[in-house]
């Protein structure tokens, strides 16, 4: 199979989905890998390293879209890419389709076979771990007065305690954020709706991390005392309510910071809107909001190595067996199947956008799940 990837168009994004390690394995297996020039430069993977791994270099995405049977990327496709898609082409990337009707229209109209990569992880995405850790560091950064914050040091000093932080969500993202903050000396309260997850977290995390059930009453109780809020909850897109409303910002200290790692417009934090690393923060009612929706893009070398390794089994299976057979063999890959030659298969997208859907199992001739 001919597999292609190229430098992401999204501002501040330098991650890659194939490092030279994965390229060498693909080319060693008889596949052709096309790499856009400069794709991995900012992540520490120069063109020469890809060439040495057996890749063929191309000038840019236009050539790669024209030649490749399988396009693999990190981020969603952007409008500049829409016209380059070809019927029957396979696409594996983080599409976030439920929140993007226009993108879904294009996928269906172009009759591509598209996989939403973020739904194919069996053990959670390394991107989430990186986002939790980096998000905590950015939160600490924007609490400093030189960055517009209230002038607090995350870990405090002798005689002055560290900051109070609230982490909502005790999954991979939340535990990663809490681990960094508590290790730096912050006093952390972590909330979740699952007692089992909270029980597990109290043994995994450093002592001094308190756990509470996540509900609006408890959040209201804690907000007046916190300096930093980390939202790590992926809010269901069909819900119209919020965990933190604009009215609740009045409970918080002025110049406190909210980092919404889940980056859902209309999600858990009502006042969230997406930003980029060029202008990462904005202020609402005296509260600083960090809204970057591709936080791991700031650490592309570390993130790319872990992320590429985690999704490579899917990419290799598609290359070795074709999209249909690869999806039949792996329920996690099948879960990420989003569109199939003009047919919508993605459950969340169908629910949110009120579209007709055919299940992946039905399309592939498998028993209903």
Active site residues per annotation: 96, 264
Cα 107 from Cα 160, distance rounded (Å): 55
Dihedrals phi, psi of 9, to nearest 5 degrees? -85, -25
Q: CB of 272 within 8 A of CB of 265?
A: yes
Question: Cα–Cα distance between 162 and 141 in angstroms, integer?
Answer: 14
Q: 10 Å Cβ neighbour count for 142?
A: 22
List of residues 6+ apart from 364 with CB closer than 8 A: 324, 327, 328, 334
Bridge-based pairing of strands 287-290 and 281-284 is antiparallel
- Quote the CA–CA distance of 192 and 233 in Å, as a whole number: 9
Q: How far apart are CA 344 and CA 202, in angstroms?
A: 41
Q: List CB contacts of 157: < 8 A, sequence separation 6 or more.
A: none
């Amino acid at each position: 199979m001919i597999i292609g990837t190229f430098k992401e168009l999204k501002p501040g994004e330098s991650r890659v989905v194939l490092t030279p390690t994965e390229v060498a394995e693909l080319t060693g297996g008889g596949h052709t890998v096309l790499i856009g020039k400069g794709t991995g430069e900012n992540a520490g993977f120069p063109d020469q390293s890809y060439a040495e791994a057996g890749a063929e270099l191309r000038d840019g995405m236009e050539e790669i879209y024209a030649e490749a049977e399988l396009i693999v990327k990190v981020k969603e496709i952007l409008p500049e890419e829409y016209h380059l898609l070809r019927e029957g082409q396979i696409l594996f990337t983080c599409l976030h389709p439920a929140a993007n009707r226009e993108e879904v229209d294009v996928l269906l109209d172009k009759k591509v076979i598209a996989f939403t990569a973020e739904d194919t992880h069996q053990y959670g995405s390394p991107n989430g771990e990186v986002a939790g850790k980096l998000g905590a560091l950015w939160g600490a950064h924007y609490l400093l007065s030189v960055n517009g914050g209230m002038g607090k040091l995350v870990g405090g000093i002798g005689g002055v305690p560290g900051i109070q932080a609230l982490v909502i969500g005790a999954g991979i993202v939340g535990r990663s954020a809490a681990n960094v903050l508590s290790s730096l000396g912050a006093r952390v309260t972590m909330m979740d709706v699952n007692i089992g997850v909270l029980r597990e977290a109290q043994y995994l995390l450093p002592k001094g991390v308190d756990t509470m059930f996540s509900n609006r009453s408890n959040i209201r109780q804690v907000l007046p005392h916190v300096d930093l809020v980390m939202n790590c909850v992926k809010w269901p897109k069909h819900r119209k309510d919020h965990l933190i409303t604009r009215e609740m910002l009045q409970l918080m200290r002025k110049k406190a910071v909210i980092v919404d790692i889940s980056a859902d417009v209309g999600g858990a934090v009502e006042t969230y809107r997406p930003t980029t690393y060029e202008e990462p923060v904005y202020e609402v009612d005296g509260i600083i909001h960090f809204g970057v929706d591709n936080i791991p893009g700031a650490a592309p070398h570390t993130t790319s190595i872990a992320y590429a390794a985690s999704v490579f089994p899917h990419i290799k299976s598609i290359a070795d067996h074709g999209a249909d057979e690869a999806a039949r063999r792996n329920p996690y890959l099948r879960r990420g199947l989003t569109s199939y030659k003009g047919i919508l298969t993605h459950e969340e997208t169908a629910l949110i956008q009120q579209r007709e859907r055919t299940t992946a199992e039905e399309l592939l001739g498998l028993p209903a799940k």
